Amino acid sequence: MSGIPCRLRCWPARYERCLLFFSSLGHPSGSGSIARSTGWRPWSSRLDSPMNVFDRKMKRRQKNWASSLPESGKYDYLKEEVGSRVVDRVFDIVRTFPLALDIGCGKGYIAENLNKETVQTLFQVDIAENVLKHPVETEIPTYRVLADEEFLPFKENTFDLILSSLSLHWVNDLPRAFKQIHSSLKANGVFIGAMMGGETLYELRCSLQLAELEREGGFAPHVSPFTAVTDLGNLLAQAGFTMLTVDIDEILVNYPGIFEVMEDLQGMGESNCAWSRKPLLHRDTMLAAAAVYKEMYGNDDGSVPATFQILYMIGWKPHESQAQPAQRGSATFSFGDLGNISKRMTKKDK
């Protein structure tokens, strides 16, 4: 723990105030919040902000618990797969990145796939300390930092490459997180991220809703809210990224039943930590949900599918060398001439 800055080692109660102090340093909009003692209340980065969806302390506890399980490796399949797909996108860019950052690194699912030719030094950031203590072996020199994804402790224009795999869907203030990522990037730097999309676990969500509606007469959210694809493009553009690419991937995993789905989600550290979640699930409702899940979505062999919709995003920090939109009126060819294109081509050859 010796390398970790003192303010990040604060105990939970003071952790909130330490983060408040830190945020008011880095962001002028946070000034004034230090005067108010938040104590044990749910904490928001801006006191009047509606963006306090997730209990970050709870998420930290869940991730710590998940990584302390005896067989935590058996829950890694999804994160390993998504991590390798993110690294595929990094390899598509023919460039060597001297300094890279991995936000919400987990055990290092991205680092284990990278090589020294692509990334020379890697910083890994995560909110849970247990996870950082047992990283995966990698040939790249890495530095592990314990920090919250919403409050990156890095200077502006530091990194050539920022990566994030399956951790941004637990962030409260996503626009702000993107702005911080944008500022930490150097000009002509790139951000490649993967997060869960809106259709993730829709089978689980629907089964629980229907079961609760039938058994209890109403339902509360159990699956956490996700970002829609359309919103993601807007958020990235607002943060200042250019040359955006957002694509959707769906990973379907089959499980024996609803309890295995929930158990694996817990083991991955992906349990719900939204403030609006209902902590109690009656046994009758669980039984009803299991029956509904199997009947409505079950496969022929008795297993049930769970969909993970992954949104991959690539955004660049502007730089003069990047292709700019052409000036109005600079066209040399009209769409109306498209029908004659073969004639024009042969004329040119002659």
Partner 1 sequence: MAAPRAMPRREVWSRTREKLRSFPHLMAACAAEASAYGRCVAANTQGSKDLRKDKCANEFQALKNCFTVNAKKAR
Is 12 or 32 the residue whose CB approaches partner 1 more closely? 12
Amino acid occupying residue 275: W
The nearer residue to partner 1, 252 or 287, going by C-beta atoms, is 287
Give dist(CA 130, CA 64) in Å, integer: 5
In this chain, which of 213, 243, 248, 341 binds partner 1, going by CB under 8 A? Answer: 213
The answer to whether 199 and 309 have CB atoms below 8 angstroms apart is yes
- 3-class secondary structure, 105: coil
List the interface residues with partner 1, window 42-61 (CB under 8 A): 57-58
State yes or no: residue 279 binds partner 1 (CB under 8 A).
yes
**Candidate segments 103-111, 282-290, 323-331, 333-341, binder of partner 1 by CB under 8 A:** 282-290
Q: How many CA atoms lie within 13 A of 34 on its CB side?
A: 14
The correct pick among 34, 215, 233, 244 for binding partner 1 (CB under 8 A) is 215
Span near partner 1 by CB under 8 A; candidates 106-114, 169-177, 208-216, 336-344: 208-216
205 lines the binding site for partner 1 (CB under 8 A): no
Residues 220-259 that bind partner 1 (CB under 8 A): 256-257, 259
Residue 293 CB, nearest distance to partner 1 (Å)? Answer: 8
Nearer to partner 1, 78 or 273 (CB): 273
CA distance 21 to 60: 20
C-alpha separations of 268 from 10, 56, 78, 200, 295 in Å: 26, 16, 8, 15, 26
27 binds partner 1 (CB under 8 A): no
Stretch that binds partner 1, among 18-26, 69-77, 206-214, 244-252 (CB under 8 A): 206-214
User: Bridge-partner residues for 163, per DSSP?
Assistant: 102, 192
- In contact, 200 and 228? CB cutoff 8 Å: no
Q: Which stretch binds partner 1 (CB under 8 A): 45-53, 82-90, 188-196, 291-299?
A: 291-299
E strand segments, the chain: 97-103, 119-126, 142-146, 159-165, 185-196, 242-255, 304-316
Q: Which two tokens stand for residue 280?
A: 């109690």
Please report, as ranges, the residues that interact with partner 1 according to CB under 8 A: 40, 57-58, 210-211, 213-217, 256-257, 259-260, 279, 284, 286-288, 290-296
